[in-house]
Amino acid sequence: MTKVLIFLLLFITSPVFSQDYDFDVSEFEKKPFEFLGTTEFRPSLIIPEKKSLSWKLKYFDKNSTPNLMDTYLLLVVPSAKFIQNGLSVYSSGDGRIIYNNPEKLLDFDLSLLEGYCKYEFNPRWSVLLGKKLYKWGKGYIYNPVSFAGRQKDVNNVDASLEGYYSASVEYVKSFSSKVLKNLSQEIIVIPVYKELNDDYDTGDKHWFLFRTYFLIVNTDYELFFTVSEDFGYKIGVAAAHNILTNWEIHGELSFLPEAEKMLISENGYPELHAEKNTIQSIVGTRYLSPFNATFYLEYIYNGAGLSKQEMQDWYTTAQNAFDSQNTQVIDLLRKNWFSNLNEQFIMNHYIYFKIQYPEPFYFLYFTPSLYLLFNVDDKSFLSGLDMNYKRFNAVSFNMKLIGLYGKTNSEFGSKMSELKTELNVKFFF
């Protein structure tokens, strides 16, 4: 009898107690508008290599030079997204304040990274208009087929990049076939007119870009073709294949009928040179080990880069100008050196290796990674240690140590810095 009374009492009072567990289903529905972003404080310190050619060029006419170079960056990257009834509106910006202590310079910059409208008529067809960054290719550190985007930063692969103003249409279709499983076709128009997309190409013209994607069995294939009104064109192909669930291989190749590079001419002055029939490629692999460490290995070939002898001409010209105290040549070299030789992959052959190991030795929320970019031509290299700690959802801490090694007459040995350390405190909102 006692058990029956207890049961009846629980049954009668259960509606009262159940109110504590009521919830509003609408709170879990996806909201049409979303606003988020990050704020970063990024101080960095560089130990300079005062014997390098870059350092001598920059401070040739200076009586005193700094022993340390510290820079302070405050970066805000907000983004907003609205999705409803097939319409997507997205925008993201980049606002930064930079203070360079050795130069006593304070700089402020505000730019729109992306801002576009996309409408999906149905699951197959969509159109897009606005400023968009297209991420093409399979390579981790380098994408020679990225005709509609920008190249990644070796030391910050996940950094937000600026897009181009464009219009595009995309068609996607899935198949039940065991061979061809998915197909998509993307057509993009990038106009270059006065200040619009002026960093994409020179002269007023339109670029038409075509990307075709296939998923055949378990291999991704991408074909790229780009053509302009003046019959300039580029061709590319990319593929990625999973050998095992934890082992992937990938590759990219692009063909450019003509590419420009700055060389030292016979008269000893920098001169723009056109390189015909240029090939750029990358082949690599990514492997997830049983102990949860990820390994990356890639070989990069840049046919538009400088050969070992062409790079040596730059070093020899700079050294001769220093020896002769020829200020005219030094000023000319200084102007062209930092605008042409500070780019990534400026020579022909590179090997990139990275290992990323989350929570080693049960160190929770900590992810270190070690990477190396080796210049096969001159045997110089860049190495980096990246340490990321994210204990809280709203904030993460990151520290980088970047070292450059090589002879004076080598790519990384001729750079201004010997060692760079950078702290990044990122807040999410």
- 44-86 tens-digit pLDDT: 999 999 999 999 998 888 878 888 999 999 999 999 999 999 9
- 188-225 tens-digit pLDDT: 999 999 889 999 998 899 999 999 999 999 999 999 99
Domain assignment present for 428? no
182: Cβ–Cβ under 8 A, 6 or more apart, which residues? 172, 173, 174, 175, 213, 214, 215
- Give the total number of structural domains in the chain: 1
Domain assignment present for 61? yes
Of 192, 201, 185, the closest CA to residue 256 belongs to 201
Domain assignment present for 383? yes
- CATH label of the domain that carries residue 52: 2.40.160.10
Residue 335 has pLDDT above 60, yes or no: yes
- As a whole number of angstroms, the distance between CA 355 and CA 99 comes to 33
Pair type for strands 417-428 and 366-375: unpaired
For the chain, the helix, strand and coil percentages under 3-state DSSP, each to the nearest 5: 15, 55, 30
Q: Report the predicted TM-score, pTM, of the whole model to 2 decimal places.
A: 0.89
- As a whole number of angstroms, the distance between CA 227 and CA 206 comes to 9
Residue 96: what pLDDT? 97
Residue 419: what pLDDT? 95
Rg of the chain over CA atoms, in angstroms?
Answer: 27
**Across all residues in the chain, what is the average pLDDT?**
90
Domain assignment present for 429? no
Q: Mean per-residue pLDDT for 25-39? A: 78
Q: Mean per-residue pLDDT for 248-262? A: 95
Q: What is the DSSP string of 132-159?
A: E-----S-SS--TT-TTS-PPBTTBTT-
- 295-324 tens-digit pLDDT: 999 999 999 999 999 999 999 999 998 888
Handedness of CA 425, 373, 347, 270 (dihedral sign): positive
Q: Confirm if 96 and 126 have CB atoms less than 8 A apart.
A: no
Instruction: For residue 385, list its beta bridge partners.
Output: 370, 401
CA distances from 188 to 40, 90, 255, 258, 404 (A): 33, 18, 19, 22, 39
Domain assignment present for 333? yes
Domain assignment present for 154? yes
Residue 133: what pLDDT? 94
- As a whole number of angstroms, the distance between CA 355 and CA 398 comes to 16
| Token digits of residue 405 | 């090694």
Domain assignment present for 365? yes
- 85-106 tens-digit pLDDT: 999 999 999 999 999 988 889 9
For residue 62, what are the domain limits? 2-423
Domain assignment present for 172? yes
